[in-house]
Structure 1
Amino acid sequence: MMRTITLEEHYASPAFLDGPGRMLREQAGMAGRSGRGDLARDLSDLGDKRIAEMDAAGIDVQVLSLTDPSVQQLEATGAVTLAREANDYLADAVRRYPKRFAGFATLPTAAPEIAAGELERMVHEHGFKGGWINGHTQGRYLDDRFFWPILERAEALKVPLCIHPTPPPEPVIKAYYAGFSPEVTTGLSRHGWGWHIETAVHVLRLILSGAFDQFPDLQIVIGHLGEALPFMMPRLDKGLSTNVTKLDHPVADYLQENVFYTFSGFNFTPAFLNLYLQVGADRIMFSADYPYSSMAEARDFLDQLPVSTADRNKIAHGNAERLLGL
């Protein structure tokens, strides 16, 4: 049978649920989009129940990450404390189930030098596979050289950084997404549109800052079939030529050579084919976005992709093995 590795699968630690994730406990009983159970409970489970669901869906390995909003909206001291707690909590689960779980390190980006050290600690001492960053850090993006110690360390360690969506800064929400019912504003500014565009802008800022010219071997991972960036690649190259950007390469080159892409619940064939045509099978990796989306639906989508067996195997496990050393 084809091995499967999913790369955007979430958990919550006890301290996170007492802090930035307390709304998940306040919404006890709210089902994830997987349609089963209690979201906070599913996020907290790093044991037999989750593994049974993986088995039922045909998922061999989950690479786990702390769920949104992670620690990016905390001040430095709180972010450092919570990141270490979350990472140690996940490391314990990976030790208990080394063939089923792997980890991405939560990074306290408000303290970049400490975050770089925490990434190194988790990679060297616990075998973690990269770093996880939930969007902007209180309105500041990774193009800000303040954060570049993290980029430098990730490149040196030869592990990727994953950029996950988070709600846009409040002024952006007010300017772009307000004026509707709370439900519409939430959907428009987050999962329906805004946080995908937010992540796309984050990646473009990182490229345009020259970060990949400075750190050419750095790899990042984004979800949701590229957060609309594949559709815009030709336009980006036309509107932001190297004469304008002063970069070493066209914008699309970085999107094709420094970025990997996962599904993250975007089980949409036309969007997949657009990504596939723009970056090729070597840059696409499987994910389900559990517990927010169904592992079984993701696996069905993978099995039905209109690609060759060789490309399906790259997407299902080969690219993740190569990038993460799994």
Structure 2
Amino acid sequence: MGKEQKNFKKWDTHHHINPPFYEAYAKKNGYGNVYGLPHPKWSPDLMLHWMDEANIERAVMSISTPGIHFGNDAESREMSRKCNHYMADLIKKYPNRLGAFATLPLPDTDGAVKELRYALDTLKLDGIGLLSNFNHHYFGDVRFEPVWQEANDRKAIVYVHPTRPKESIPQQLLNYTYYLKMDTAKTIISFMKSGYHLKYPHIKFVLSHGGGVLPKVMKSALQALKKEDPSIEESFEVWRKQLFADTALVSYPDVMLPEIINFFGANHVIFGTDLCWGADKYKYFIQQFSETDISMEMFEKIYLKNVNALFRGENVPYIPTKVKLHATAHEPSVTNYHLHIHPKNIIALAAKKYNGEIKMDHLNTEIKPAHANAMISFDIPEVWKLSRSERREILMQYNLNISKMKQESAINVKVLAAIDLEDPEHSINEITHCLNVLKMDGICLYVSVTGKSYHDMFDDRLLMKLAQIDVPVVIHPKASDAFPVLELAYYETLAYILCLIYSDKLAHLKQVNYIPTHTDDLLEFLGRAVNSMHYVNPKTDKPRIGKIIWELLIMKREVVYEYLKELDVY
């Protein structure tokens, strides 16, 4: 980091504390560690030391995940008050160095409203700090509306930190890299879906870790929300001036940080370190941030000016920004790998087996001239709710009938065999039959992995079979009708790729011509963060120092990141 960067004064809004009484409380309630990580060392003196090292003029303290509510409302209220008093006392001791986001005992709404009033009106804290979900209830939940009313009346700042969703996988690094990042976006979409962004328009949200994946998934979410609210895009453009994002642990200068700045705008990105949890990483991310292709004026805004305006209560405008992304290494193929066509008899068979309504709006039944050069595949989400034997029958009939349609068509198309990840023994045989007998052109692998254990996720025999065939393997979520963001099943193909990486199956990924669908470009967006998974032992969660030294320090290569940039993604 250059000298000029070091001289910037900074305000840090992503700054956690871990006082001994809180750590003891978390451990008493089953959090001896937090999602695989030990509780970090922290003290007021250590906090001030970190601040001085990074030239942080002021830090806004908060309590991080797992929060304070572990099922007992009375205990949670007591701990909330204790944390808020503790932070208020530190502010009195260091008034020019510290601020605080109050912690609330949600999902205890009555207790949260009382504590919000006390923390903001009596203790005069800077805002409130909330987790992205409380017992898996998100911001749009009707039970939280009294909190939004109080926050809106005060034009409060609400700092949002992710926590683990119900559907996540018990691996700490994958949770941080994917599921926690998704959860911040999920709770904001939930807030909008409930119409609260219109009803309570004066709350300013500070979204930690760059808003998670919000910059990439908002487009899909808005398209889905339009079915209920045709004016949602227009109302979001008005409301987005209430959204801010911090830079904590996301300051990669090539894709992630530019995307975050471009989405939130030059005036709405603020600096964050993730201290005390990020004590071993914050200097690295400050250095990464310094390499972003932005002006010195924008550095100054992000470090200090934007947050000053936010805390003064100014109406900070949203200013569209275009920070250049580094060029990717791969140009997407001109082939359309994501086209669904279903013979009419297959739709009839599925409807009969399902014994219910089959959604027809996306079901093509004929090959048309516009489909030339496409790869045709199956997509009837209702089929995956049937028994295994019923699914087998429908998929086998689909493969047979779609291959006949191709042979009889005068239009140049290719067809993908429908293969079920969760039925490995049958799928292995079906792959052989489809490629060797039916002469199909590739595979469409239908996946559902979120919430499953690693032992149940992959069958090595099926993975070996996929590695032996030299054809495209399109990955498709079974729940393709799921709501983007609000239902993680929509992004199952992304989870499939991430789980293979975390399971140390990078060699397999390189052997198979995987083409993921329904990713919203999140593979590249998360690429640098995902890269770190390759260097962690999946059995011990400990870094593999030898690989780090060789690949990162000697070869100067980020192996997974470079691989992910080369994928065809739809």
Please report the TM-score for the alignment, with normalisation by the length of structure 1: 0.84
Would you say 1:305 and 2:292 are equivalent positions? yes
Partner SS, residue 166 of structure 1:
coil
Contact 2:120 2:126 in 1 (8 A): yes
- Of residues 110, 113, 120, the one that matches 1:113 is 110
- In structure 2, distance between residues paired with 1:271 and 1:23: 35
Residue type of the alignment partner of 1:223: S
After superposition, the C-alpha distances for 1:58-111 in whole angstroms (9 at most, x for unaligned) are 211111101211124433222111100111111111111111111000011122
Please list every run of 5 or more consecutive structure 1 residues that lacks an aligned counterpart in the other structure: 33-37
Would you say 1:198 and 2:183 are equivalent positions? yes
Partner SS, residue 316 of structure 1:
helix
- In structure 2, distance between residues paired with 1:218 and 1:249: 19
Partner SS, residue 13 of structure 2:
strand
Q: How does 1:1-326 map to 2 (within 5 A)?
A: 1-22=7-28, 26=32, 39-42=39-42, 45-46=43-44, 48-169=45-166, 172-173=167-168, 177=169, 185-188=171-174, 190-241=175-226, 243-245=227-229, 249-250=233-234, 252-253=236-237, 256-269=240-253, 270-293=255-278, 294-325=281-312
Stretch deviating more after TM superposition (4-13 or 254-263) = 254-263
- In structure 1, distance between residues paired with 2:248 and 2:71: 25
Contact 1:7 1:286 in 2 (8 A): yes
Distance of aligned partners of 1:323 and 1:73 in 2 relative to their CA distance in 1, 3 Å threshold: farther
Residue type of the alignment partner of 1:209: S
Shift of 1:250: 4.1
Q: Which residue of 1 aligns with 2:425?
A: none
- In structure 1, distance between residues paired with 2:110 and 2:233: 29
Shift of 1:212: 0.8
After superposition, the C-alpha distances for 1:243-279 in whole angstroms (9 at most, x for unaligned) are 5335554475267323111112112111111122222
Contact 2:40 2:276 in 1 (8 A): no
Partner SS, residue 177 of structure 2:
coil
Q: Which residue of 2 aligns with 1:35?
A: none
Residue type of the alignment partner of 2:132: G
Residue type of the alignment partner of 1:237: L
- Cα RMSD over matched residues? 2.6
Stretch deviating more after TM superposition (295-304 or 309-318) = 295-304
- In structure 1, distance between residues paired with 2:194 and 2:31: 39
- In structure 1, distance between residues paired with 2:135 and 2:90: 30
- In structure 2, distance between residues paired with 1:222 and 1:303: 21
Q: Percentage identity across aligned positions?
A: 20
- In structure 2, distance between residues paired with 1:292 and 1:274: 24
Partner SS, residue 116 of structure 1:
helix
After superposition, the C-alpha distances for 1:216-244 in whole angstroms (9 at most, x for unaligned) are 11221111112111012333333432x53
Residue type of the alignment partner of 1:16: Y
Partner SS, residue 193 of structure 1:
helix
Question: How many residues end up aligned between the 2 structures?
Answer: 303
Partner SS, residue 19 of structure 1:
helix
Q: Which has the larger radius of gyration?
A: 2
Distance of aligned partners of 1:279 and 1:40 in 2 relative to their CA distance in 1, 3 Å threshold: closer
Please report the TM-score for the alignment, with normalisation by the length of structure 2: 0.50
Stretch deviating more after TM superposition (281-290 or 146-155) = 146-155
Contact 1:62 1:101 in 2 (8 A): yes
Contact 2:10 2:304 in 1 (8 A): yes
- In structure 2, distance between residues paired with 1:325 and 1:21: 37
Partner SS, residue 7 of structure 1:
strand
- In structure 2, distance between residues paired with 1:252 and 1:311: 24
- In structure 1, distance between residues paired with 2:62 and 2:135: 20
Relative to its length, the structure with more helix (as a share) is: 1
- In structure 2, distance between residues paired with 1:239 and 1:191: 26
Distance of aligned partners of 1:140 and 1:19 in 2 relative to their CA distance in 1, 3 Å threshold: same
Contact 2:15 2:272 in 1 (8 A): yes
After superposition, the C-alpha distances for 1:268-310 in whole angstroms (9 at most, x for unaligned) are 1111111222221111110010122233234333433322222
Stretch deviating more after TM superposition (232-241 or 129-138) = 232-241
Stretch deviating more after TM superposition (125-134 or 246-255) = 246-255
After superposition, the C-alpha distances for 1:186-235 in whole angstroms (9 at most, x for unaligned) are 332x2121111122111111111101111111221111112111012333
- In structure 2, distance between residues paired with 1:112 and 1:72: 12
Stretch deviating more after TM superposition (265-274 or 243-252) = 243-252
- In structure 2, distance between residues paired with 1:205 and 1:226: 14
Contact 1:79 1:110 in 2 (8 A): no
- In structure 1, distance between residues paired with 2:295 and 2:153: 34
Contact 1:129 1:325 in 2 (8 A): no
